[in-house]
Amino acid sequence: MNRLLQDTFTKELPQDPTVENTRRQVEKACYSLATPKKTSNPKLLHVATEMAETLGISKEFIGTHEFLEIVTGNKVIEKSKPYAMCYGGHQFGHWAGQLGDGRAINLGEIVQDNQRWFLQLKGAGETPYSRTADGLAVLRSSVREYLCSEAMFYLGVPTTRALSLSLTGDQVLRDMLYDGHQAYEKGAIVCRVAPSFLRFGSFEIFSVRQDYKTLKTLVNYTLKYYYPHLPKNSKASYIQFFKEVTERTLTMIIHWQRVGFVHGVMNTDNLSILGLTIDYGPYGWLEGYDPEWTPNTTDRQHKRYRYGNQPNIGLWNLYQLANSLYPLIEDAEPLEEILEDYKTNYGLSYLEMMRAKVGLFSKHELDSELLEALETVLQKTETDMTLFFRLLSTIHKNDTPAAAITKIKPSFYTPSALKGTVLTRWETWFTNYLKRVQNESLSDVERQEKMNKVNPKYVLRNYMAQLAIDKADEGDYSLIDELYTLLKNPYDEQPSYEKWFCKRPEWARNKVGCSMLSCSS
C-alpha cells in the first residue's frame, strides 16, 4: 500500500496553509490536510475483491490487520498526506458557496497498470469542510453506497467504485427523516475508489471567488492527468476539455435512463468532471415507470431531480461549468455551441438507446413515434420498468398482440387494470410494434440476446438494499454478499437468484428506505 506515495494532487496543487482541523472558509487552495478519526472497534464487513485485484491488492493483504486499519482510518500510511478537497456547488439550483469533502478523506493515489486510482474514506470524521456535521456515516447509507457503486459498474454505467465496507464500532446520532426524531445508529466507512473525485464544483468555487490563478492551475492539472491527449495551457484546449466533459456527462445520463436509475441529488458538487456517477445518496431505480419520480424526500415538492428531468439538469449543470471556465476562455460562442450540441446529441443518443431496449436494430422514420407511444402507454398502468423491458425480449415476431400482452403482463402491478381503453391502447401499441419487429433481419433468438445485453434482469431495488441493511443491523451480513454476487452479473439469467426478478413487494411501497429516502447518512 505504500504505492499511495504517488500523490500528484497534493504535490501539484495548492494546499491550505492552515493545518488545524477547524471549520472555515478555505481560500486559494484545492485541499486541506485532514486526518481520519480513530475508530473504536473496526470490523471489515465486505471487500470488493475484483476492485482489490484491479488495484493490485493481494488477498493475503486484505486479510491483515493493517488493511483493516487503513480502510477504517486508524492507520495513516507512512509518508502519505490524507486530505479533504475544497469545492463549492449549486444545490437545487442555488449557489451554496463552499462545500468540500465534509466527511470524505482522501488517502492518496495508486497507479496500477497505467491507471491512476484515488482511495477515499467516506465517513472517516470531520474536516475543515464539515460545517455543522460530524463527518461520519452510518451503516444504512454505507451499505447502499457500497452495493450501488459496484452494481452500476457491472451494469456498464460510468461510476466511481468501492473497495470495502466496514463498521467503526461507534454509534452515530442521526435524524433519518429530518423530522426531529434523532436516534443512534451504527457507524460505518466505505473506502471509495475513482480515477478522480473532482467534480464541477471543484472549478466553480474558484471562478465564483474570481481566483482565476487557482482555477487555471486546477484545469491544467486535470488536463495533464485525465485529458492528456489535449494540448496544454491554451484556450483551445480548455474549449475541447469542456466539450469532452459534456460528452462524458451525456453518455453517463443516457446510461442512467437506460437502466432506470435516478440519482436523486444532481447538484453541481455531485457531478464528476470525468462523467462518472458519484455520491450515492437518496438514489433509486424506477419501480413503476414514472418519469416524475424522484427518490429524494427533500425534492418531494418540486421534483427537480426526477427521472425524466435528469437530461435537462445535466445540461443546466454544464451551463454552470461553462460559466466557471469562461474566464479562462473569454469567448462564449464555442461554449454555447457545445451546449447546443448536447441537446441535439441527447435526442439522437436517447433514440438509439431506446431502439436497442425494444429490439429495433435498424432504423425507421416512425421509430420516434412508436417509442413515444410506448412511454405514454407504460404510464396508463403501473408498470415495472426493469421487468417490462426484460420480458419484452421474449416476444416473437409471429406473436399476436394478445400473446405479447400475456408475456409482459407480470410487469404490471395491477393486472386487473388492463381492461377497457387501457387494454385497447396496449393492443394498438403491440400491433404497431410487431409490424415493426417483423422488418428486423435478426431472428427472435438473436434479437433477444442483443436486447438482454442492454436490459438488465437485476438491479439494486431500494427494498433489496433495505433488506440487506436490516439484516446487517442484526449482525447478519450474508445478504450484502448475496446481492453483491447477484449484481456482478445483472444481465445473466442466474436461475438460483430468480427470486430477485420480481416487482417491488407491496409491503415496501411506503416503507422507509424502500420508497423515498432523505439525504441523511
Q: Are 254 and 348 in contact (CB under 8 A)?
A: no
Cell of 210: 474570481
Beta-carbon neighbour count of residue 173 at 10 Å?
A: 11
Q: Where are the beta strands (DSSP E) in 195-315?
A: 261-262, 284-285
Residue recorded with cell 449482525: 475
3-state secondary structure of 315: helix
Residue with cell 467503526: 168
Tell me if residue 134 is catalytic.
Answer: no
Paired sense of beta strands 115-122 and 161-174, if any: unpaired
Which one of 16, 101, 269, 299 is the catalytic residue? Answer: 269
The two beta strands, 94-98 and 88-91, are: antiparallel
**Secondary structure of residue 328 in the 3-state scheme:** helix
- Within 10 angstroms of residue 104's Cβ, the number of other Cβ atoms is 23
Q: Which residues contact 422 (CB under 8 A, 6 or more apart)?
A: 380, 381
What does the block give as the cell for 154? 457491472
Other Cβ atoms within 10 Å of 64 Cβ, number: 11
Q: Where are the beta strands (DSSP E) in 161-306?
A: 161-174, 183-194, 261-262, 284-285
User: Is the separation of the CB atoms in 391 and 410 below 8 Å?
Assistant: yes
Cell of 449: 440476446
For residues 38-52, one letter each, b for 16 or more C-beta atoms within 10 angstroms of the residue's C-beta and e for the rest, the string is ebeebebbbbbeebb
Q: Which amino acid is at 88?
A: G
List, by residue number, the catalytic residues: 269
